[in-house]
Amino acid sequence: MAVPKKRTGHSAQGKRRSNWKATKPALTTCPNCGQKMLAHTVCTACGQYKGKVVSRKAEGFVDGNEVKEAKKAPAKKTAAKKSTKKVKEEKAVEAAEETKVEETPAEETKEEKTEE
């Protein structure tokens, strides 16, 4: 690992950093509303980019997620969910019936003992 032998002085450090300059961001005017905006970004005032409605701020904005969700929901998946729910319900009913069947003989023996 390289380690400097001596500490860098203030003037040498300043000379080295003399070319570190901040640049002004490229500003353009929005073709829709005329506001100043950063180049290649969505207008913060009207929500348009390259003449298209992109942001919720713009009038006529349609959320792309809502459209995609409507297209993605096929009938098969809902049918599959229903069938798994039905299977679970049937298993629960069967388990309940089994417990009733198991309890019934035990209850009969208790009743017979109490009658004697």
The pLDDT tens digits for 13-60 are: 999 999 988 988 989 998 888 899 999 988 888 888 887 888 776 677
The pLDDT tens digits for 60-111 are: 777 766 545 555 656 665 555 556 777 778 888 887 777 765 555 555 666 5
When divided into structural domains, the chain yields a total of 2
Same domain? 80 vs 112 = yes
Same domain? 88 vs 68 = no
pLDDT band, very low/low/confident/very high, at 8 (cuts 50, 70, 90): very high
pLDDT (average), residues 7-18: 94
- Helical (H) or strand (E) element with 105: helix 75-115
Q: Is 35 domain-assigned?
A: yes
Q: Is the pTM of this model over 0.75?
A: no
Q: Is 111 domain-assigned?
A: yes
Find the domain containing 104 and state its range.
75-116
Exposed, middle or buried by CB within 10 Å (0-12, 13-18, 19+), for 43? buried
Same domain? 30 vs 58 = yes
